[in-house]
Structure 1
């Protein structure tokens, strides 16, 4: 599954219609969740929620205006949260199990195979439901003429701080209508590449974004840290225009407040895009230079609970880098191995003895063999050794799981499309 994202251009009334469709999708999603909470004893499943969408359409006229498959897509979002909760309970995950929550600020609405139609030139898309979105122009460098219409499984409209976007989820192995797989309609993301006869182990850190076993390091860009003063200034300007009296009276805030809020959101969006593009290009470079890449299987969600390092870890973007590393590894036929991170920084890469050190100690000095090396480089050597031991037994992914971008046809719930490539790659 690959995802293409194009910016859409339309009139203000069309943007308001998109916002209305997003609110309706959120309403159906929350209603389905309430229906499940009120009928737990009757074993409500995915199909029951889909049927409940028809009940909501008959009861609420504004819900009936939304395309039927878009309503089902909203119900599937609710069921996705419920299924994850059930899965956490079955696996007996420690701590909170992720009980589904009601949504209050959705930013997207998703259509399946109906309710939309691309123009002959594939430069415009028309939505035919009763919301009145109409025809929107598509702006971008991606050419949708390369793909068959039947390969586009999902279309999502996303609202961001700098405008509205359309995402197209394209199936890699779509069928052209028959029972066979048509080679002409197949989207193959894999690209043949020449072997480099190189292997690398990389350690992710805060001081250095990555350090490999050969001693090469890449400085952490710290996009958020560099933009923090501007972000705080924009946040203060936004707060000054906020009225507590209007909030208590449930009156809409002033236009100046919403303008300041949009400026603040744009700055955050810029930082997010800078981080994503940096991770993308660095992962591409690592994959192109090596045939095997070993890296740490870090639990980033658990690491950010450290209140002293949470901002630095979030600013680094380790998880985004891993996603792109796995995606490019799949595309170019390279081996990517995620290894357990336990004691990779503590063990000596020369003699194997454990040398305890605090996080502030940046140099590895082994008292057993006298080996001296940078802490991150020592960890990278251990990671490569573990990766080489693992790859012959469990395949590409040490955990036995497929990368997240390769699972399912649904787009990510927050509107992000992690496997959208830059036109220059």
Structure 2
């Protein structure tokens, strides 16, 4: 088969490709029965069995309604004209990461390695070596979309390809964040790669086709259905080294993607939201019950995905304050200095339980730091001391 968008598939796989195209048109994407039969019998044998309407785990009867319209050669040619290539196992472009689906336990009868992937756009699947999926709620909040946009931009700047589903809400913010940082991004669709869904994202999807790529397991012309979205989710997880979930309610489809990330032994991360937000309840459940790592910014995701010793983040802490540099004895003296009315050295020494001589030395050091001030023959806390009431102050344990 000739090149598509500057890329080509391996011609020595043409026969295998036709068999897989035919099976894809006769069955539903992600059907675990199809994947198992093709792995054990081969695509040619399974295709022949479907044409002869053999039992084949019940697939023969299911496929009979589509036999009359099955024309794999024509389907491939039409896909080629639309700029779509059908990448199958064995092609140089085939992403090895997807092979992990072969051993992953199925979810609701969905699973297994896909027959092939319909790809549209110049970005090759063999280039997806540093990838991260960012998924979440369609009905996202401003908090969720803003955070996703910043995180996706940071991931793109860190050299990662952002993978998402081109849907409303978090998906859209993930793609746009990567694009804003001049990064690369991949949209995985539940419909055919020649269709636009949702229609409101036509400009986004067209841009992905022109500059990046979209991927689908569903044959060209295929409509998006609920079952195909569930099947699509495993492709998103399989293409990615890790999955970040930003905002997901208890029954969000993003949790299905998270489930696949776990079954594939890929890194699973969740971004917390307000504890009162229903949009984040599913994410909190992932963190609490499924071992998802809590992340709040791109640098933390990069640290999780990077090889040991790379992209290390520094532990966050509050800004240093003058009191942080005090010795234990100096803190003891400072706590004995009155707030308003000055006290002499002996009074402060008695309150602190420290000798007057050592108190004098400590008071001089505290004065140099601007924490205490002289008043007559005594001492009091400095007016600019951050520990005074009404001024922000965190002690050493805060």
| TM-score class, shorter | under 0.3
TM-score with structure 2 length normalisation?
A: 0.24
Q: State the structure with bigger RCO (CA 8 A, min sep 6), 1 or 2.
A: 1
Q: TM-score, normalised by structure 1?
A: 0.23
